Amino acid sequence: MIPKDAGRQLSEDWWSTEIIEMKPGMIRYRGYAIEDLIGRISFPAMIWLMLRGELPSEAQAELLGTALASAVDHGPQAPSIAIARMAVTCGVGINNAMASAINVLGDVHGGAGEQCVAFYNAIAARMDEGLPLEDAVAAQAKELAASGVRYVPGFGHRFHPIDPRAPRLLEIVDQAAAKGTVSGRYAAIGRAVEKHIATAKGKVVPMNIDGATAVIYAELGFPPPLCRGLFVLSRSVGALAHAWEQMEQGGRNKGPIPRQYLWTYTGEAARAYDGEGEGG
């Protein structure tokens, strides 16, 4: 016999979450009443709470906020930002423009941070097994190359000879390590990777923004898949700003290249149509 309250129980269990509890007149994030959090914690601290289930220290939240702030924009030469602006000129709303930008943040454009954290973590795991830092880096780099990956994620930049964001971020990590906020282990790993690449290639391939933020996210203990989400949160700010600016500037159907420049056609030469198909 089906209990009388079975339908109500099924309805209540349709979704199950440890993130938010809500009833009329009550909202709690991870057990904390929202009215106790408002005005007392920062946005990075709220991100940490929602993702990790507990409030961070002020120093941890500050370091997370630093990483998020460092990667908000890279201009319309970045496909995601260009797409946000193009979307606006097609007449869509700001949310559509932001979504269009976010949807192209994949493995190539937007995924390097996640990949780099995974790479750093694999090196750290080898160190935990007893390998010295330099040997762990060399072994993991060899495994990465054997998998067919041509570039170490988080190093080198197609635009900047030296990414101006990376040295400053590492400096801040060093300061945080000196204060005991983080261990500094992943900063050492990142620098060792940069040194290994320079030795292997015979030239310096500097750490970029993805490698530097990966150091921070790894130091703070975020798992690799969440690091891509954190980058998306960060770059969404740039997408929003550019979408809004394009709305204010106006424009219609603005494509990726000026209209006086056409693409290179590589198909068949001009052919006359005689009304007959080639099929039998």
Q: What is the pLDDT of residues 193-216, one digit of tens each?
A: 999 999 999 999 999 999 999 999
Q: How many helices (H) does the chain have, and how many strands (E)?
A: 12, 3
Q: Which of 106, 188, 200, 90 is nearest to 152 (CA)?
A: 200
Model confidence at 87: pLDDT above 70: yes
Q: What is the pLDDT of residues 4-21, one digit of tens each?
A: 665 566 666 889 999 999
Q: What is the C-alpha to C-alpha distance for residues 177 and 276, in angstroms, rounded to an integer?
A: 76
The angle, 0 to 180 degrees and rounded to 10, between the axes of the packed helices 209-219 and 185-201 is 150
Instruction: Give residue 161's pLDDT band: very low, low, confident or very high (50, 70, 90).
Output: confident
pLDDT for res 157? 79
Q: Which two tokens stand for residue 152?
A: 């170490």
Q: What is the pLDDT of residues 110-156, one digit of tens each?
A: 889 999 999 999 999 999 999 999 999 999 999 999 999 888 999 98
Model confidence at 276: pLDDT above 90: no
CATH number for the domain running over 57-255: 1.10.230.10
Q: Residue for token digits 């969404």?
A: 236
Angle at 64 between CA 116 and CA 76, to 5 degrees: 65
Q: Please state, as a whole number, how many other Cβ atoms lie within 10 Å of the Cβ of residue 173.
A: 24
pLDDT for res 1? 53
Half-sphere exposure of residue 56: CA atoms within 13 angstroms, side-chain side: 25
pTM higher than the cut 0.85: yes
106 Cβ neighbours under 8 A, 6+ residues apart: none
49 Cβ neighbours under 8 A, 6+ residues apart: 29, 30, 32, 37, 41, 55, 56
pLDDT for res 3? 60
Give the torsion through C-alpha atoms of 264, 265, 266, 269, to 10 deg: -140
In the DSSP assignment, the letter for residue 106 is B
Q: Where in the chain is the domain with CATH 1.10.230.10?
A: 57-255
Q: What is the C-alpha to C-alpha distance for residues 138 and 144, in angstroms, rounded to an integer?
A: 10
